[in-house]
Chain A
Amino acid sequence: MIIRLDKLGVVIAAIVAYAALAAPFATFRANRIVPGQARSIIEALPPILGTLLLAIVIAGAVIALLRTTLILRLAASIIVLVALAILIGVAGGFLTPAGNTFARVSPASGFWLLIFAFTLLLADMLTRLNLSPWARVGVLVLAALAIAALLVSGSWDSLSILKEYASRADSFWAEASKHFSLALGSLAGAVIVGMPLGILCHRVDKLRAGVLNVLNIIQTIPSIALFGLLIAPLGWVALHVPGAAAIGIRGIGTAPAFVALFLYSLLPVVANTVVGLAGVPRAANDAARGMGMTDRQRLFDVEFPLAFPVILTGIRIVLVQNIGLATIAALIGGGGFGVFVFQGVGQTAMDLVLLGALPTVALAFAAAIILDAVIEMTASKRRVVETA
């Protein structure tokens, strides 16, 4: 009998073999900034649990390696991921000496590689399942609930990243809300200004090339440079325009970060509005005119609904991009999760970096999945309208 191997499984099994047997599972440090000591799976967990985790991981790798059924692979990837998530917390408690509040235990490269390998398997299965938009959002909600449950239950409390969180819980949520308002506020501003501008560019040919070129150039300017370039003009406005300083406009801080994010957001919104409107079928416009619709009615009742999925795609690009870029606002005192990232880099405290980076990545990822699902739903609705 010839055993047929799955090609992706070979890659996954190779990563798992290295991660489980050669790479460290957790790192133990006497305090938060000294270099750590590596601990393997067997060393990091009580003997029974260590052996159990190794067995689960190896079984998962074998299932990935052989050509097994979709359901089995899906189940295997989920079981391994859940086991890893629970047991890394156990490792934290096991490795920390009782009563020692300085010691830090953090997940090490082996843990992250195992997570990566089995997420790869899970992603492959989910891609093959070809889930509907609602189902994808459902999976996202389930994953978020599972992580929230682990966080609330306190099973990760012995890990270094949550110890960093515990000592700055208040500022974490303050920065989180700043991050949100920066990313969402600049998006809202860009939509309010960008959509009318896009409509104008669609109607007035002469304007289109000029506006899009200028926005393109702005998009090219690296974020930190743009933040810096805005400090001088905004500082001038704060000094010379009465009332500007009172509403919070200053050279450094949130104002330049907000303006920069707003400027970056304009191009995708304007460009996609133009493309969306240009893609409206001529027949639809002619029919609307024939029915005696005014320009205004035509815009709101015909053109806009038809162009909506394309405009939404622009909004998705902007939101994901802004959530990432808002981290850089911390460099000019704008706040956001970037505060922890750059503090952590400055103190060589990597757990602090993770405290800023992980929520950012999770937010961007969730935003992408949700908006992709919404785009797919509006686009399929549009197709139904067209064929009807």
Chain B
Amino acid sequence: MKAWLPALLRLAVLALLVIFVTSPGWFEPLLKPLTENGAPAIYNQGSLLALTLQHLRTVLVATVAATIVAVALAILVTRPAGAEFLPLSRSLVNIGQTFPPVAVLALAVPAVGFGEKPTLIALFLYGLLPIFENALTALTTLPGNVMEAASGAGMTGWQRLMKVELPLSAPVILGGIRLSVVISLATATIGSTVAAKTLGEVIIAGLISNNLAFVLQGGLIVAALAVLIYDGLSAIERYAARRMGQGAE
């Protein structure tokens, strides 16, 4: 009975989330006590569903772009031709991760103006780091005997990369993508301070008008999304690790 309890819980959270963003009106009586002076209990300056989808789209676009660039860079610096960049790229990732996401977001504004763009740039730049770091770790710590076997089997560099190195690195790279997505979900929320259409808008509107109901519903939707997506990606990661014969957990 313990095994299916977490799954059931997640399913319930997902169902609640879907019902809430599609027909938030049903929950009005629940949130009403949190408002003052007859303020609206459900966000009324845009549809919650549209904001949720927009939020997810922003994160998806940035993560896909970051994944492609980060994995390509990691492959580049682990080839003999790019080896010169390896030590530097390691320290750059270390330095980059000390930059707070908010700073990256705010500093992107003067370059590209307000709206969706600075958010996408901040998400992309900040999302690069964990993926690149994990891809680098995975590609530089592959078991030596496997690599020798691949060379011995007459594989070219390209074949070895596509058929041996990348599949073996997949679980660790996926771990980086998961971290990157969680950070992006949070950063996208702050993106609404620079006028990006994301769920942060609901929270900020609540903070400005002192409406706890807005703050709570925005916070709960973002939190539920983050936890569900994190869980989903962890499950995919475990599946990939099992397929590679590494996941002994």
Contact = CB atoms under 8 A, between A and B. Distances in A.
Contacts of B204: 331
A368 interface: yes
Nearest to A11: B85
A123 interface: yes
A338 B102 contact: yes
Choose among A109, A128, A332, A338 the residue with the greatest number of B CB atoms under 10 Å from its CB.
A338
B248 interface: no
A16 interface: no
A224 B185 CA distance: 11
Contacts of A320: 97-98
Query: What is the interface residue range for chain A against chain B?
Result: 35 or more
Contacts of A357: 100, 102-103, 106-107
B226 A365 contact: no
A192 interface: no
Interface in A341-388: 341-342, 344-345, 348, 350, 353-354, 356-357, 360-361, 364-365, 367-368
Contacts of A224: 186, 189-190, 200, 203, 219, 222
Given A320-B98, A331-B207, A221 B223 contact: yes
A232 interface: yes
Contacts of A341: 102-103, 106
Interface string B104-117: 00110111001000
Interface stretch (A165-173, A276-284, A294-302, A321-329): A321-329
B99 interface: yes
Contact of A361 (B88, B99, B193, B218): B99
A141 interface: no
A348 B207 CA distance: 20
Interface string A172-200: 00000000000000000000000000000
B103 A360 contact: yes
A265 to B, nearest CB: 15
Interface in B70-116: 82, 84-85, 87-88, 90-92, 94-95, 97-103, 106-107, 109-111, 114
A186 to B, nearest CB: 15
A279 B88 CA distance: 30
B106 A127 contact: no
A3 interface: no
Main secondary structure of the interface of B (DSSP, over half): helix
Given A222-B186, A222-B223, A231 B103 contact: no
Interface in B129-187: 182, 185-186
Interface string A216-250: 01001111111011011001000000000000000
A38 to B, nearest CB: 13
A367 B88 CA distance: 20
A342 B94 contact: no
B98 A361 contact: yes
B193 A345 contact: yes
B88 A109 contact: no
Contact count band on B: 35 or more
A7 interface: yes
A225 B103 contact: no
Given A123-B92, A221-B227, A226-B219, A361 B109 contact: no
Interface in B202-230: 203-204, 206-207, 212, 215-216, 218-220, 222-223, 226-227, 230
B92 A221 contact: no
B12 interface: no
A7 B97 CA distance: 25
B219 A364 contact: no
B34 interface: yes
Contacts of B60: none
B105 to A, nearest CB: 9
A120 interface: yes
B194 interface: yes
A332 B203 CA distance: 10
A232 B34 contact: yes
A286 interface: no
B95 A225 contact: no
Contacts of A229: 215-216, 219-220, 223
A332 to B, nearest CB: 6
A225 B219 contact: yes
Given A220-B227, A225-B222, A350 B109 contact: yes
Nearest first, the 4 closest Cβ-Cβ pairs linking A and B are A324-B100, A222-B186, A225-B219, A228-B219
8 contacts: A6-B84, A7-B82, A109-B111, A123-B95, A229-B223, A338-B102, A364-B99, A365-B95
Interface of A: 6-8, 109, 120, 123-124, 126-128, 217, 220-226, 228-229, 231-232, 235, 252, 320, 323-325, 327-328, 331-332, 338, 341-342, 344-345, 348, 350, 353-354, 356-357, 360-361, 364-365, 367-368
Interface of B: 34, 82, 84-85, 87-88, 90-92, 94-95, 97-103, 106-107, 109-111, 114, 182, 185-186, 189-190, 193-194, 200, 203-204, 206-207, 212, 215-216, 218-220, 222-223, 226-227, 230
